[in-house]
Structure 1
């Protein structure tokens, strides 16, 4: 059984790495917290934080997002079941990439009736240990729950990476055509609802086929990546989206931006690509350049985003016809 010694309530996790599993101990008794934390020190690969206050525990959980929670079911200011429900609600609201993390919660209590156990599980708890807790059982339970927690975090990370792969262009690292199509639909509806303008910038690299023919496809890939990066750096607002439209074509969605603002962004993009100073013997003045078509509209229920895209495409064609390395704007 655990024996009492005077140990600090909150351990200093400063010496541990950022990926080290952590256990949050929530118990109203300072003596119990000290005993539990001292027991957990036998597991050198974890860090432990403890508190006796429910509200502080919730704040610690939000800030640190521990790998495991050991929770006394009776708190001084916050009922343990209510605290569990708050933790689960916060996890659900803080999901990433469509997957919510689930932190194992093990209840600790001297109350052993079945109703209490059932209420705890329904509130979101995962297991139940009766006080006084055996040191051997506590360590075994923590090891088991941490294995589950770590695997669940790995699943979330894999899901996040898969979603990232699904929406990003493999060569340039910017969003792909699929993500552009989805985002355009969302932003059209948002601007329609808010009665704000929506602008598109469609551009491509001038004489890119000739660039590949002269310098090879490896150089062509390097050129695409460099141009994509320069165009991305020309997009300053977080609500704007730059994507690879296909081949050497790029497209930017500018919600809430009018025609003049979109033209200014396109000109900045044109100049940023030009400033790369990539040699191209058949390019405009011997360097790689880009042409851009801009379209802007106030979305309405009678029209759709594809018409706006068509207008931007017509503008791009006009820029190519007019000599390339330029921006042309057409209002829808």
Structure 2
């Protein structure tokens, strides 16, 4: 019964770390072995003198305190590491994001386009690119003000991102009122569908724009695929998409 209680005390989450000294009159090895198997820190036969008992209690108390301090230090270290990881992820996000509109910035776009171009060459797949321009944006700024213009850019950026069809698609602010999308492993047909999906989604926002014939904010979209530009590299793909935007 005593051994069962000792075992439960040593295993219970609330008490298992508390030092336990067993005081017993039994010196038999089997009893000592059974007692230690239950998990106590010490086993004392008969009541020792006061000095010895105090020394044992002090030793185990000090060990317990050191154990608690170590565990607390580990917890603090894990918390600091988690906080550092979160800070680094946020810094990485800010480094790669456009400060105004939220999606990737031009630097991140260039890096991603170059990487996906190389990947497409290795895997013999196509990489597509869309160039997107907010129509008559200067007129919108002149009519409604730059604050409203910034709000429109943010709204268009969110709409572009929410319209992407693959987890590998990357939307970026290319500059000013221009945005771009890199779509890996995409056929020209799928790229056209994506561009049309984005164009319709922005038009459906019904943001008023008195400076256009439609009376609302719209975008123009041009697309190109590396399958259509040959081996000229990412720069030629960008130029082809920009030309397609100009013709849109």
TM-score tier, shorter chain, comes to: 0.7 to 0.9
Q: Report if aligned partners of 1:195, 1:299 keep a CA contact under 8 Å in 2.
A: no
2:99 matched residue in structure 1? 170
TM-score between the two structures when normalised by the length of structure 2:
0.76
Instruction: Output one character per residue of 1:228-267: Cα deviation in whole Å (capped at 9) or x when no partner.
Output: 1111111021011111111111101111111111011101
Rounded to whole Å, the distance in 2 between the matches of 1:135 and 1:36 is 15
1:292 matched residue in structure 2? 221
1:275 matched residue in structure 2? 204
Question: Cα RMSD (Å) of the superposition?
Answer: 2.4
Q: Report if aligned partners of 1:279, 1:286 keep a CA contact under 8 Å in 2.
A: yes
Q: Report if aligned partners of 2:229, 2:240 keep a CA contact under 8 Å in 1.
A: no
**Correspondence list, 1:253-272, <5 A:** 253-272=182-201
Structure having greater relative contact order (Cα 8 Å, sep ≥ 6): 2
3-state DSSP class of the match of 1:279? coil
1:6 matched residue in structure 2? 8
1:203 matched residue in structure 2? 132
3-state DSSP class of the match of 2:8? coil
Give the structure with the higher percent strand. 1
2:35 matched residue in structure 1? none
2:238 matched residue in structure 1? 309
2:15 matched residue in structure 1? 38
1:146 matched residue in structure 2? 75
Alignment length (residue pairs)? 203
Rounded to whole Å, the distance in 1 between the matches of 2:192 and 2:176 is 23
From the superposition, tell whether residues 145 and 4 of structure 1 become closer, same or farther in structure 2 (CA, over 3 Å): farther
Instruction: Output one character per residue of 1:295-331: Cα deviation in whole Å (capped at 9) or x when no partner.
Output: 1123999421110000000111111xxxxxxxxxxxx
Rounded to whole Å, the distance in 2 between the matches of 1:187 and 1:262 is 15
Q: 1:197, CA displacement in angstroms?
A: 1.0
- Larger gyration radius, structure 1 or structure 2: 2
Matched, 1:155 2:157: no
Instruction: Output one character per residue of 1:66-123: Cα deviation in whole Å (capped at 9) or x when no partner.
Output: xxxxxxxxxxxxxxxxxxxxxxxxxxxxxxxxxxxxxxxxxxxxxxxxxxxxxxxxxx
TM-score between the two structures when normalised by the length of structure 1:
0.57
Instruction: Output one character per residue of 1:129-185: Cα deviation in whole Å (capped at 9) or x when no partner.
Output: xx9992212111111222222112211111111001001111211111111111001
Q: Report if aligned partners of 1:39, 1:135 keep a CA contact under 8 Å in 2.
A: no
From the superposition, tell whether residues 149 and 216 of structure 1 become closer, same or farther in structure 2 (CA, over 3 Å): same
From the superposition, tell whether residues 37 and 268 of structure 1 become closer, same or farther in structure 2 (CA, over 3 Å): same
Q: Which runs of 5+ in 1 are unaligned?
A: 8-30, 42-130, 320-332
Give the structure with the higher percent helix. 2
